[in-house]
Chains A and B, each alone.
Chain A
Amino acid sequence: MFEGLSDKLDRAFKVLKGHGHITEINVADTLKDVRKALLDADVSFKIAKQFTDQVKEKALGQNVLTAVSPGQLMVKIVHDELAGLMGGEKADLLIKGDPAIILIAGLQGSGKTTFSAKLANYLKAKKGKKPLLVACDVYRPAAIEQLKVLGQQIDVEVYSEDSANDPVKIAKRSISHAKENGHNIVIVDTAGRLSIDEQMMDEISNIKSALNPQETLFVVDSMTGQDAVNTAKAFNDRLDFEGVVLTKLDGDTRGGAALSIKSVVNKPIKFVGLGEKMEAIDIFYPERMADRILGMGDIVSLVEKAQEQFDEEEAQKLQKRIARNQFDFNDFLAQIKQIKKMGNVKDLLGMIPGMGKAVRNLDIDDNAFKGIEAIIHSMTPEERVNPAVMNGNRRKRIAAGSGTTIQDVNRLIKQFDDTRKMMKMVTANKGKNMANVMRNMKNMN
């Protein structure tokens, strides 16, 4: 796997530390790493270069003695620049006209047919529309049948002509059909085509002229490499499309193609495909994509996830108990529950920028908590509140009761003491950054 950019910046930040300003010299290596990370993420060669130049300009001369560390400052600059490039304002579908017409285009296998059906399903379920799907791929074996099957799954009518082989004519006739049958949206699925296939490119631009669609969407596989710029540009030159659909984002590609395409044709990414199911469609979030390309973890989802589970009242109570040094094993148990509720611990920690490496080297697994919970459950109420009373005999009893060893019990009690110390540190350091806390945590062992 690729080393995440945040790891690299962590490294670079050691280099930068001690310099008061970001200068040409102390930023050079960092930028090299940024550029390599972008290339590993499939951002186009030219755009990666432009981008790092841009970041350099922003970074140079910035004072790093202020609130944040140099590493964090660079992360912020890189991230903000990228998120800015990715998109800004939300780009909704334009669904005007009766019927509104949406034309789908792209390379072979990019996910056009699947997306056409997903979009129909989405517009039907979310916007109360009555869509018509039109099968204009007369080339790929069983392409029409594929759309028909999907249409049936989502209960949307599919217009197709079994004997016709001219997509332009089929498309035109589908509009009359839509009008006659009260469909207010028409989604036209087309065959995959290479941008250098003149004949096929003529065909799609003829379909476009014949239909005059409100929206032409270019569907592109998020795993696409350096070719993304060529293809997107060629399709845009011919079709002047309104938006981009990025498919197969449920994979582990970093998706740098998104940035390349956005930069080259300057058209918004309107939807993403996240799976093969009809519901696996979402609108596009530029910030998340920026994080993904940089390998910085999805900070947004971390925050959202945490917010979902976070009990404000409980937290305040806990805060007070920590401050008064009353944090005990009952609280410890409650914390474990809380963490478990939030999902896989390692995944969760990995989402925090800068934590990537620390977590990877730690061996945390969810089962690790099982023993801990058993031990705490074997403690008496008194022992939980007042851990100091746990002498050797008591520890032996607890080990036997929980099916663990006395070493396990000792280790947990030590961990508990450490945690207590760390928590005091966190409350004392309020406002200091997470990296500091982590560093202090490490020094405790």
Chain B
Amino acid sequence: MGLFNIFSREKKERLDQGLEKTKSNIFTRISKAVAGKSTVDDEVLDSLEEILVTSDVGVATTLRIIERIQKRATKDKYLGTSELNKLLKEEIVALLQENNLQDFTEFSVPGDKKPYVILVVGVNGVGKTTTIGKLAYQFKKSGKSVLIGAADTFRAAAVEQITIWADRVGFPIINQGMGADPASVAFDTVKSAIARDMEVVIIDTAGRLHNKINLMNELSKIRKVIQKLIPDAPHEVLLILDASTGQNAFEQAKQFTAATEVNALALTKLDGTAKGGVVIGISDQFKIPVKYIGVGEGLEDLQVFNRVEFVDSLFN
């Protein structure tokens, strides 16, 4: 870590700050659970269970983690506080690594896709529009040209909201006003990006609950329409999840994937008291990488997700 450049150390500090609450909470509780003990007994495992479940990891994943710890603990006889912390961290990282997810290190898009099309989806109020604003800011900062499609034509003042972000960051948007057909906006945006030789396209969509079939079909339609222009687009379908969401996030991941072939996740609002353990659970069950995390409402408050750093921040 010591040789990391200043920029990434800064990044890490922000993440640490965002996760401070979680960290100290879990840390002190584990420490309490193992204080004065040299083995992993039922009481310790019960505490671990509580810690993981209260972090929204979910019962099923928690049981898997506990099982692993139990197995390890029967091998390694003597355990103190620090060993247990290390063991727990290792097991969670290992669980995530089993899914062979690649790690992302920076805000970048593959150079061979031009324009690189990102479709942003998710339930209501999770932070789609805000994440798009922050993401566009990052791409712009790294010198990429970005065009945004205002395809949330439903929620009151949604177009105005993304327009304000556009002014703030300085990116152009394509909009057809409220009530327009979102697929048509998406089509227009991609078409225009091709004509203008833009590098990145991000399509904002209206929030929708995953159990509403018509609205999910609308997303599939947006996807199809984009493919008329670029057969292998959208290259990235980014599902936004709110860190405070509980077990329903699993159903969201499932249904949005069924409708739009989600291939990346962003987890927002990790700057709150929500533990973010939902990432562990979802990464365990879906082979979709978590790409970004949101840690605030400002321009800079988006980070590239790094599994090891994430678990580190949780337990170190």
- The CA of A139 and the CA of B168, in the complex, are separated in Å by 13
Assess whether A145 is interfacial by the CB under 8 Å rule: yes
B278 CB-CB contact with A under 8 Å: yes
Asked whether A225 lies within 8 Å of B278 as measured between CB atoms, the reply is yes
Chain B contacts for A225, CB-based, 8 A: 56, 244-247, 249, 274, 278
Q: Which of B157, B161, B165, B251 has most chain A Cβ within 10 Å?
A: B157
Which bucket holds chain B's interface residue count?
35 or more
- Cβ of B50 under 8 Å from chain A: yes
- Chain A: CB-nearest residue to B126: A109
Contact of B164 among A44, A142, A227 (CB under 8 A): A142
- Partner-contacting stretch, out of B86-94, B192-200, B265-273, B302-310: B265-273
Our pick among B50, B53, B125, B163 for the contact of A111 (Cβ within 8 Å) is B125
CA distance A196 to B59 in the complex (A): 27
- What residues on A are CB-neighbors of B273 within 8 Å? 194-196, 227, 230-231, 234
Number of A-B contacts (CB under 8 A): 138
- Report yes or no: A252 in contact with B246, Cβ–Cβ below 8 A: no
Is the Cβ of B275 less than 8 Å from the Cβ of A227?
A: yes
Q: Is the CB of B271 within 8 A of A194?
A: yes
* Inter-chain contact A256/B251, CB cutoff 8 Å: no
In the bound complex, do residue A223 and residue B248 qualify as a contact, i.e. CB atoms below 8 Å apart? yes
Contact of A226 among B210, B246, B248, B297 (CB under 8 A): B246
Binds B, one of A33-41, A284-292, A362-370, A375-383: A33-41
Residues of A within 8 A of B149 (CB): none
Collect the chain A residues with CB atoms within 8 Å of residue B168's CB: 141
B124 near A248 (CB under 8 angstroms)?
Answer: yes
* Binary flags per residue of A224-262, CB closer than 8 Å to B gives 1, else 0: 111110110010000000000000101111101100000
Given contacts A141-B161, A195-B272, contact A45 B50 (CB under 8 A): yes
CB–CB B125/A251 < 8 A: no
In residues 144-174 of chain A, which contact B (Cβ within 8 Å)?
A: 145-150, 153
Q: A107 contacts which chain B residues (CB < 8 A)?
A: 244, 269, 272
B59 close to A40 (CB less than 8 A): yes
Minimum CB–CB distance for A228 against chain B, Å: 8
A142 touches B59 (CB 8 A): no
B165 x A223 contact (CB < 8 A): no
| Given contact pairs A36-B59, A224-B246, A230-B273, A251 touches B123 in the complex (Cβ within 8 A) | yes
B156 contacts A by Cβ under 8 Å = yes
- 8 Å CB contact of B59 from A39, A110, A139, A143: A39
CB distance from A352 to the nearest CB of B (A): 21
Cα distance A332–B155 in the bound complex, in angstroms: 48
Report B-chain residues with C-beta under 8 Å of the C-beta of A195: 272-273
Contact B244 A221 (CB under 8 A): yes
Is B176 interfacial (CB 8 A cutoff)?
no
> Contact at A227–B123, with CB atoms within 8 Å?
no
Known contacts A36-B59, A256-B246; A111/B124 CB under 8 A:
yes
Minimal beta-carbon separation of A41 from chain B (angstroms)? 7
CB-defined contacts of A257 to chain B, threshold 8 Å:
246
Beyond A40-B59, A223-B246, A253-B248, whether A110 also contacts B125 by CB under 8 A is yes
Within the complex, what minimum Cβ distance (angstroms) separates A175 from chain B?
25
Q: Do B274 and A45 touch across chains, with their CB atoms under 8 A apart?
A: no
CB <8 Å contact, B211 and A226 = no
Q: Is the CB of A252 within 8 A of B211?
A: yes
Q: Does A276 contact B (CB under 8 A)?
A: yes
A415 in contact (CB, < 8 A): no
| CB-defined contacts of B125 to chain A, threshold 8 Å | 108-111, 221, 248
Which residues 126-149 of A have a CB within 8 angstroms of B?
A: 139-143, 145-149
Which residues of A164-198 are within 8 A (CB) of B? Answer: 194-196
Residues on B lying within 8 angstroms of A by beta carbon are 21, 50, 53-56, 58-59, 123-127, 154-158, 160-161, 163-165, 168, 209-212, 242, 244-249, 251, 269, 271-275, 278, 297
- Excluding A221-B125, A226-B53, 20 further A-B contacts by CB distance (< 8 Å) are A2-B247, A40-B59, A108-B269, A108-B297, A110-B125, A145-B156, A145-B161, A146-B155, A148-B157, A195-B273, A196-B273, A225-B56, A225-B245, A226-B54, A226-B55, A227-B272, A227-B273, A251-B211, A252-B248, A256-B246
Task: List 14 A-B residue pairs with CB atoms under 8 Å apart, sorted by A's residue number.
Answer: A2-B247, A108-B269, A142-B158, A142-B161, A145-B160, A148-B157, A194-B273, A223-B246, A223-B248, A225-B278, A226-B246, A248-B125, A248-B209, A251-B209
